[in-house]
Amino acid sequence: MSDRPNVLVTRPIMAMPLARLSKRCDVTVHENDFGIPSDELLKVVEGRDALITMLTEVVDAELLRASGPQLKIVANHAVGFDNVNLADCTAAGVMASNTPDVLTETTADTAFSLLMTAARRVGEGERFLRRREPWIWGPLMMLGQDVHHKTMGIVGFGRIGQAVARRAKGFGMTVIYADAILLPPEVEAETGARRVELDELLREADFISIHTNLTPETRHLFGAEQFRAMKPTAVLVNTSRGPVVDEAALADALAAGELFAAGLDVFEREPEVTDALLDLENVVVIPHLGSATVDTRDAMGHLAVENVFAAIDGERPPTLLNPEVLKG
Ligand code: DGY
C-alpha cells in the first residue's frame, strides 16, 4: 500500500493542476462527464485523504462518514459552496475550501456578455438567420435596449458584483447595488456604485445582475412580485445560483412582457431548464459557463490542489471556508 495521500477528483479537471496533484498523491479521477451518482459517490470516497469536489456533489455528514476519519479536506472546485454543508465538515473535523478570486473577472465577463446578448437580441437574431428566414435590413427590425448610460442594478455586491460594476462604469452606466453589507467608501468610489434597498433597485434599474450566494434567505429572492416591480424594458441576468430565481414565475413574467429579457447561466433544477423558458425568444440560456475559460479553469484547478497540499501538510489551506475546524 502506498503512503502517498489518496485523493479523489470527482470530475476531470485541467491537465496541469492534475499533473501537479499526481506528483505528490495517488489520484483517482472519476471520468464520467455526467458526474457521480450519489450512491456511487458514497462508495468511491472511502479511505480518501482529500476530495476535490464539484458544485454538482452534495457534501454532507453522510458523505464525510462514508469517506472515513482520515479525510482531511474537501476542496470544492468552485467559488460557490452551497453544495457543501460547512457545519457537517466542521463537526467531522474536515476542512472545506473553495476557489474564490481566480474566477471573478471571468464570471463578470460572462454576466456582461449575457446582459449584452439579451439586451440586443443577439441569440434571437442568430436563431433567425440559422433558420434561413428571408430578411432585409429594416428600421424596425429586432429592436433591443441600449446598455450604455443606463442604470445597472447589482444584487449581491461581493467580488463578482463589483467586477460587473467596473464593467458597467466603462459603459457609462449608473450603478446601484443591494446588499446586506454596506461597503467601504473606497469600494463605492472605485466602482461608482450607490447602495439602495432592493425595492428601489427593482424600480430603478434597467439591468439587474444577480451575484448573491444561495442561502435559505436568497432562495426565490426573485419571484412574481419582484418581476412585476421591474421596468417592462428591464433585463435580468443570473450567473449566481439558479434557485435564487423562481424560474416558472420568470417564464410567466417574460411571456407577459413584465420585463424585456433575461440572460441565464444557472438554473433552478440544474441541469434541467424549465421548458417554458426554452420556448421564449427573449431568454438567453447558457449551460453554467460562468467561469468556463481555459485560464480560469486552470487557476481554479491549481487553487483546489494548493488547498489539498496545505491540508495534507498540516497547514492552513489558502481559501479555507471553515477556520473554526482548526480550533478543535
Ligand atoms: C462557481 O465557481 O461557483 C461557479 O458557479 C462555477 O465555476
Q: How far is the CA of 174 from the centre of ligand 1 (A)?
A: 27
Whether 59 and 85 have beta carbons less than 8 Å apart is answered as yes
Q: Is the peptide bond before 134 cis (omega within 30 degrees of 0)?
A: no
User: Could you tell me what percent of the chain has a pLDDT over 90?
Assistant: 92
Q: Give the start-end residues of each E strand in the chain.
A: 6-9, 26-29, 50-53, 73-76, 95-97, 151-155, 174-178, 193-195, 207-210, 235-238, 261-264, 283-285
Q: How far is the CA of 47 from the centre of ligand 1 (A)?
A: 27
Query: Atom 4 of ligand 1 has which residue's CA nearest to it?
Result: 78
**Model pLDDT for residues 15-70, shown as the tens digit of each residue:** 999 999 999 999 999 998 788 999 999 999 999 999 999 999 999 999 999 999 99
- Which of the listed residues 291, 294, 298 should we mutate to test ligand 1's pocket, taking the one with most ligand atoms within 8 A of CB? 291
In whole angstroms, give the CA distance from residue 150 to residue 171.
9
In whole angstroms, give the CA distance from residue 154 to residue 164.
8
Residues acting as catalytic residues: 241, 270, 288
**Residue 78 Cβ contacting ligand 1 at under 6 Å:** yes
- DSSP structural state of residue 148: T
Q: How far is the CA of 297 from the centre of ligand 1 (A)?
A: 10
Residue owning grid cell 439587474: 208
**Residue 79 Cβ contacting ligand 1 at under 6 Å:** yes
The ligand 1 atom at the shortest distance from the C-alpha of residue 81 is 3
* Mean pLDDT rounded to a whole number for the chain: 96
Identify the pLDDT of residue 250. 98
Q: How far is the CA of 28 from the centre of ligand 1 (A)?
A: 22
**Model pLDDT for residues 238-271, shown as the tens digit of each residue:** 999 999 999 999 999 999 999 999 999 999 999 9
